[in-house]
Amino acid sequence: MYGLMTFAVLISALTAWLVANVFANQFAAFLANNRWGIWLIILLPIFLTFGISFNATRSPGMSLFLLILTAIIYGITFAFIAGAYTGADISTAFLSSAGIFLTMALIGTFSHRDFSRIGSYASAALIGLIIAMLVNLFLHSPAVDYVLSVIAVIIFTILTAWDAQRMKSIYTGYGDQLSVNGLAVLGALQLYLDFINLFISLLDIFSSSDER
């Protein structure tokens, strides 16, 4: 599971580098001539995520392909948003998110404390966070954006530990009844989403600090 998650992160990083340094002109021209392309990049990962979640244990091979495709699309997105940040901010955000992720994954895996309740609260808070972010798209408030990024870091820090513990519990309880490879892909997807959301939120925080 962690191997697949790391593989997905590396695919996103490689895709972002290729798009930014090798195929930048081609992608820019494509998006300029096809306005629907940006919506495809935004919405397709959502449908892919649902596809993986519903089919992981039924079709592990197809789900792995969808995970790789999801990582590629997020990599394309990262290539375009990276231009708004400095290399120092990107490096600091990546190392910070990696440290937080590793720490919380270890806690979730080896801790005997049950994170189900706090994980449920974090999931509910995530819905409110998404709504607040959508509202702030119209308000354009940097201060609100900064606060929401801090809240997002807290939420995804908790979710990382919860997802790690939850996948361990699922494997322990149902590993002999479900496809182990499918569970690995499903867990990798959840942890991948936790990591990239941590990264994006920290990137926004560090860049906001630079502006101040």
CA 26 vs CA 16, 31, 32, 46, 80: distances in Å: 14, 9, 10, 25, 13
Quote the CA–CA distance of 140 and 26 in Å, as a whole number.
Answer: 30
The whole-chain average pLDDT of the chain stands at 89
**pLDDT for residue 1:** 93
**pLDDT for residue 119:** 92
CA 158 vs CA 32, 49, 130: distances in Å: 39, 20, 16
What does the pLDDT look like over 126-152, one tens digit per residue?
A: 999 999 999 988 888 888 999 999 999
Q: Which of 196, 195, 122, 202 is nearest to 162 (CA)?
A: 122
Range 148-173 average pLDDT: 93
Residue 48 CB-density burial (10 A; 0-12 exposed, 13-18 middle, 19+ buried): buried
Domain residue limits, the chain: 2-211
Range 164-175 average pLDDT: 87
Q: Does residue 209 have a pLDDT over 70?
A: no
Q: Does residue 212 have a pLDDT over 50?
A: no
pTM across the whole model: 0.90
Q: Does residue 70 have a pLDDT over 80?
A: yes
Range 37-65 average pLDDT: 87
